[in-house]
């Protein structure tokens, strides 16, 4: 990804990197002396409400699902560049998930064959249970 390439969230949505705030800080956890001197942890912060690249409907959907500021953090590797890529990818995944529109459910009915199979199974089970009963005085 080049420096000026926008972050492609979906086929229709691309966010310029100028709208994403990237902050570097020291990573927590193990790493010895290296972790004490390098700012390899990257935090990508996207201000949804201040974005000019999203439509009003997209902004509303993201704010409803993720809030007005979306954050992604990466401190997996020792490389700041690689952590930057990971943070942007995580941010992209979160935004894409928030923009996804789930399909509405279409009500269906069981087919005639399915109903017949179900009833045949019930009849068969009933017969098995009837055979297990103690014989009555009539028999």
- Say if pTM beats, i.e. exceeds, 0.75: no
Its CATH architecture, for the domain 7-99, is 2-Layer Sandwich (3.30)
Residue 77 and residue 136: Cα distance in Å, rounded?
78
Residues 6 or more apart whose Cβ sits within 8 Å of residue 16: 6, 7, 53
Place of tokens 């990818």: 89
pLDDT digits (tens, 9 = 90+) for 88-126: 999 999 999 999 988 899 999 999 999 999 999 999 999
**Nearest CA among 44, 69, 74, 73 for reference residue 59:** 69
Domain residue ranges of the chain, discontinuous segments joined by +: 7-99
**Nearest CA among 77, 74, 76 for reference residue 88:** 74
């Amino acid at each position: 990804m080049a420096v000026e390439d926008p972050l492609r969230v979906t086929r229709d949505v691309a966010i310029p990197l100028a709208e994403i705030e990237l902050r570097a800080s020291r990573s927590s956890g193990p790493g010895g002396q290296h972790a004490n001197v390098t700012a390899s942890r990257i935090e990508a912060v996207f201000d949804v409400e201040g974005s000019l690249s999203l439509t009003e409907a997209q902004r509303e959907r993201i704010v409803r699902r993720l809030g007005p500021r979306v954050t992604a953090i990466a401190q997996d590797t020792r490389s700041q560049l690689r952590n930057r890529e990971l943070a942007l990818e995580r941010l992209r995944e979160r935004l894409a998930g928030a923009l996804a529109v789930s399909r509405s459910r279409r009500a269906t009915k069981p087919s005639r064959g399915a109903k017949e199979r179900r009833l045949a199974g019930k009849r068969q089970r009933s017969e098995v249970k009837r055979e297990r009963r103690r014989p009555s005085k009539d028999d």
